């Protein structure tokens, strides 16, 4: 099995296209058609390898043919398969840009250098990237906006990020509201 940190998720096979074994891929690359430019891709467990030939890009995704898959049944069996590339086959990230795989697992420190937890994932729900942080000693996770205001330092070689924790806006202390009902 390949070390997960040495691979980067580039896309997912979402459906089949036609009867000749073509698939539609949700590509996570900057240019969707580039998913075919990084050599053979692998399944999540690293057990299967896929050689893609990109046919065209559509609004639904990248239509591609996978070598050795020549009918609809073979393509249907691949639905939902995540496609990974070896990290060293990808171009270097530009200044101030990072591959999610490089951020996952980094230690999270506050500005004073105290360890707060670990980045377990990077999420994006449509309004920008968020670092999902597992705080030390806590059950849940926190989502930190991945912006310079909240994450002023990313030190990949040092294995850490520095975060400024957002201020909670919970309405738990309802100022001015009585703790108990007063008798009339």
Task: Spell out the domains of the chain, with CATH numbers in brackets.
Answer: 4-88 (2.40.30.60), 102-162 (2.30.30.240)
Phi-psi region of 49 (alpha: psi -120 to 50; beta: other; left: phi over 0): beta
pLDDT for the residue numbered 129: 93
- Tell me what percent of the residues of the chain surpass a pLDDT of 70: 89
How far, in Å, CA of 66 to CA of 122, rounded? 29
Structure tokens at 73: 């049944």
pLDDT level of residue 126 (50, 70, 90 thresholds): confident
pLDDT bucket at 88, cuts 50 / 70 / 90: confident
pLDDT in tens, 110-120: 999 999 999 99
| pLDDT for the residue numbered 144 | 95
SS3 for 88-147 is HHCCCCCCCCCCHHHHCCCEEECCCCCEEEEEEEEEECCCCEEEEEEECCCCCEEEEECC
How much is the average pLDDT of 54-66?
96
Q: Round to whole Å and give the CA distance between 3 and 151.
A: 27
Bridge partners (DSSP) listed for residue 65: 53
Other CB atoms within a 10 A radius of the CB of residue 99 amount to 15
- pLDDT value of residue 171: 57
For residue 7, what pLDDT is reported? 86
With a cut of 50, say whether residue 77 has pLDDT above it: yes
Q: Cα separations (Å) of 40 from 33, 52, 113, 149? A: 14, 7, 41, 38
User: Does pTM surpass 0.75?
Assistant: no
Q: Confidence band (pLDDT; 50, 70, 90) for 177?
A: very low
């Amino acid at each position: 099995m390949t070390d997960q940190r040495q691979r980067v998720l580039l896309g997912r096979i979402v459906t089949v296209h036609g009867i000749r074994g073509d698939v539609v891929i949700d590509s996570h690359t900057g240019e969707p058609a580039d998913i075919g430019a990084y050599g053979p891709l692998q399944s999540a467990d690293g057990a299967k390898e896929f050689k893609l030939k990109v046919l065209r890009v559509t609004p639904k995704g990248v239509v591609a043919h996978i070598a050795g898959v020549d009918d609809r049944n073979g393509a249907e069996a691949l639905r939902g398969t995540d496609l990974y590339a070896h990290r060293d086959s990808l171009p270097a990230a530009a200044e101030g840009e990072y591959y999610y795989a490089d951020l996952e697992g980094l230690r999270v420190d506050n500005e004073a250098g105290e360890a707060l937890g670990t980045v377990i994932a990077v999420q994006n729900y449509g309004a920008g990237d968020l670092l999902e942080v597992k705080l030390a000693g806590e059950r849940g996770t926190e989502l930190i906006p991945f912006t310079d205001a909240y994450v002023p330092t990313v030190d990949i070689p040092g294995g850490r990020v520095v975060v400024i924790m957002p201020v909670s806006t919970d309405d738990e202390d309802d100022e001015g509201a009585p703790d108990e009902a007063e008798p009339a």
